[in-house]
Chains A and B, each alone.
Chain A
Amino acid sequence: ETGVTQTPRHLVMGMTNKKSLKCEQHLGHNAMYWYKQSAKKPLELMFVYNFKEQTENNSVPSRFSPECPNSSHLFLHLHTLQPEDSALYLCASSQVTGNTGELFFGEGSRLTVL
């Protein structure tokens, strides 16, 4: 138990569906992240929120829409996805102090797009 909870753990959706992934951290951290991990590829940073403000968007397609309503919750809204978007989506949080602060990851949401 890392203190970062992701739901759902598994999601299957069609290309025309709209769904959302949820992440909640119980650690009092000030930064939250979305990473994508495709099969046999390194983790790719998608979005970073620091104090609820989006500070990083790594050229992610607009069919992925993040939302950070408060410092404890992070969502990833999904719409009109493609089969190649099937991957493990990982949420993480950290307490950023200078350039340190380890990331705590959730268990991930395994997404399959049909």
Chain B
Amino acid sequence: DAKTTQPPSMDCAEGRAANLPCNHSTISGNEYVYWYRQIHSQGPQYIIHGLKNNETNEMASLIITEDRKSSTLILPHATLRDTAVYYCIVRSNDYKLSFGAGTTVTVRA
């Protein structure tokens, strides 16, 4: 599996955009980038995924660099309820997802 590197923690201000970086320099051409988040003591929640193109849904936007070696998850208007651990995962060629340590995001009022 391609490994990912994320900063261990970051703070952001309520109402501002939160930009979460992820490096995945060993990603293969057909591997997808997935983002999940886990609010304290709950099960992880799917946010978004992409292959090559940028993606947007009601929760977030995903920007993938042209060489696909890194990506950024954007929460356009962070709220206090967005405080969570965010996981960037590169999906292997089967159906497993391997979670790393993620980024602990704290949204402050």
Contact = CB atoms under 8 A, between A and B. Distances in A.
B75 to A, nearest CB: 18
B68 interface: no
B59 interface: no
Contacts of B91: 99-100
Q: How large is the interface on B (under 10, 10 to 19, 20 to 34, 35 or more residues)?
A: 20 to 34
A105 B30 CA distance: 25
Classify the interface of chain A: helix, strand, loop or mixed. strand
Interface SS, B side:
loop
B26 interface: no
Given A48-B96, A99-B91, A102-B34, A42 B101 contact: yes
Contacts of B99: 35, 42-43
Interface residues of A, number: 27
Given A2-B43, A43-B44, A103-B97, 9 more contacts: A90-B44, A96-B95, A99-B31, A99-B95, A102-B49, A104-B46, A105-B43, A108-B41, A108-B43
